[in-house]
Amino acid sequence: MAIASLLLLPAAEAAFKIRSARVGGQMYLYLRDIAGFYGMQFQASGRRANLSSRYSKLRFEVDKRECILNGVKVNLSYAVGSAAGEIAISQTDFNLLLEPIMRTRTLPAGAVGRIVIDPGHGGSDEGAANHGVKEKELTLSIARRLYLILNRQGYQVYLTRSSDRRVSLDQRVSAAQAVRPDLFISLHINAVGNARVNGLETFFLTPEGTPSTYSSNTKREADLGNAFDTENARLAYEIQKQLTAVTGATDRGIKHANFVVLRDASCPSVLVEMGFLTNPGEEEQLITAAYQNKLALGLARGIVAFDRAKRKAGKGAGE
C-alpha cells in the first residue's frame, strides 16, 4: 500500500490535469486522465476502456451505465460517454462514486460504533412471499444472525424490530435516528415475475440532481440522507463486494434509489436485496441456516471494511 500512497501525494495530484468536456448537458472527465491521476495504466479499444494497477481494475463501456470496479458491478448515475474520440465518465460519478471507492482519504474521517439493522416488513406486512416462504421471516432471521456477529465484534447493534410485528417506514426511520447510529442497513428479499432472475443488489440513496438507476427523471431536491453521498457509495460497494464473495451469488450491482428509509437516514445507509424468492435455486438456499449465515457474514464483512476505511480516512492514509 505504501507505493499507492506515494503515487498519490498531493504534489503528484497537482501535476495531473483531468480534461473535461460537455456531453449531453453534463460535465464529463476523460478516463485516460483519470487513470493518470490515479497512477493507473490506461487501455482503450473501441468502446471499452480499462484502467489497471497492482491494486485495482476498472472497466467501462461507452453508453453503459454499468461499469466494473474491482470485480463489483457499479451503476453510474450517467452512461459512460465519449468526446473527441476519448472515453469519459460524468464528473458527478467521478466525485460521488469513483473517488470514495478508489481513494479512502476522500471519505469523511470517523468510525462505526453504533449500527441499526432494519429487517424489512413484519406483522401484517409480509413482503414478498412464495411457496409459504415469507420475506418478513427471512429478513428477521438474517438480521438476528448479523446482530450476533456484529455484537461479538464489539459494535453496539440495534434492530428496528426483533419480532414479527408491523413497523411503518417512518417508525423505522425515527427509531434509527433515536440511537444516533453511525450506520443503517435495511434487509430485504426480492421477488419478480421471471423465475430465472437471481442475485444480490445493494441500493443507496440517489444523489441530488441525478436520476435513480431505474428512472430517467432527475432528483430535484436533496434529502437528509444525501449528506452522506460518498459514504453511502463506499458502504454499498464494500457490502456488495463481500456479499457476492461469501455467497457466490450473482452480482446485480450497486444501484441508486430514493427509498424512504434511505432518504431520511441520519447516517450512511444502504438497503440490501439479498436474493429472489421467485428463483427456485435461490429460494432453496435462502431458507437454510447455512446460507443465511453466509449472508450475515458477508454483510458483516462489508460493514467492517467500511469501518476500516473510515478510520483510515481519519489518519490521512493514501490509497
**Maximum Cα–Cα distance for the chain, whole Å?**
61
Q: Is 226 helix (H, G, I), strand (E, B) or coil?
A: helix
Least distance between Zn ion and beta carbon 144 (Å) = 17
Question: 188 has which bridge partners?
Answer: 273
CB of 82 or CB of 278, closer to Zn ion: 278
Rounded CA-CA distance 116/52 in Å is 36
CB of 8 or CB of 191, closer to Zn ion: 191
Which member of 36, 39, 120, 207 binds Zn ion (CB under 5 A)?
120
Q: C-alpha cell of 67?
A: 461499469
What angle, 0 to 180 degrees and rounded to 10, lies between the N-to-C axes of helices 289-314 and 135-152? 50
Kindly state the number of chain residues that form the binding site for Zn ion, as judged by CB under 5 A. Answer: 3
* Torsion angle in degrees (nearest 10) through CA of 175, 178, 182, 184: 10
| Residue 199 in contact with Zn ion, rule: CB under 5 A | no
Which member of 39, 81, 100, 127 binds Zn ion (CB under 5 A)?
127
Give the residue from 97, 136, 143 showing the smallest Cα distance to 236: 97
Strands in 70-210 per DSSP E: 72-75, 81-83, 86-90, 114-119, 129-130, 133-134, 156-159, 183-190, 200-205
CB of 103 or CB of 188, closer to Zn ion: 188
CB of 36 or CB of 120, closer to Zn ion: 120
Among the listed ranges 10-18, 41-49, 184-192, 241-249, the one in contact with Zn ion (CB under 5 A) is 184-192
CB of 105 or CB of 188, closer to Zn ion: 188
Least distance between Zn ion and beta carbon 122 (Å) = 10
Which member of 32, 73, 134, 188 binds Zn ion (CB under 5 A)?
188
Least distance between Zn ion and beta carbon 275 (Å) = 12
Least distance between Zn ion and beta carbon 134 (Å) = 11
Residue ranges that bind Zn ion, judged by CB under 5 A: 120, 127, 188
